[in-house]
Structure 1
């Protein structure tokens, strides 16, 4: 299971929410089946609907 906290810990170089999207997409393409958003991304540009955006990126709705 992919956890958002694990992504943020292993990619501490990320500076914005927009940089997070392609990381989530890349991990999903590697065959990860489940995604748990256990923390809110700590970026100033994190949108109100951040869960929906990350879920869309993970499920392939955003390309």
Structure 2
């Protein structure tokens, strides 16, 4: 199971929510099947619907 906190810790180069969306998509393409959002992204541009957007990115609904 992929946890959002694992991405945030391992990818210190991510500077924005949009970069995080790309990182989530990249991990999803490796075959990860489950995604847990255990923390809120710390970026100033994190939208109110961040959970929905990350889930869509992980599920392949966002390109």
How high is the TM-score relative to the length of structure 1? 0.98
Structure 1 stretches of at least 4 aligned residues deviating more than 6 Å after TM superposition: none
SS at match of 2:54: helix
Residue 17 of structure 1 is matched in structure 2 by 17
- Unmatched segments (≥5 aa) in structure 1: none
How high is the TM-score relative to the length of structure 2? 0.98
Over the aligned positions, Cα root-mean-square deviation in angstroms equals: 0.4
Map 1:1-63 → 2, pairs under 5 A = 1-63=1-63
The Cα of 1:13 is off from its aligned counterpart by 1.3
Per mean C-alpha deviation after superposition, the further-off stretch among 10-19 and 34-43 is: 10-19
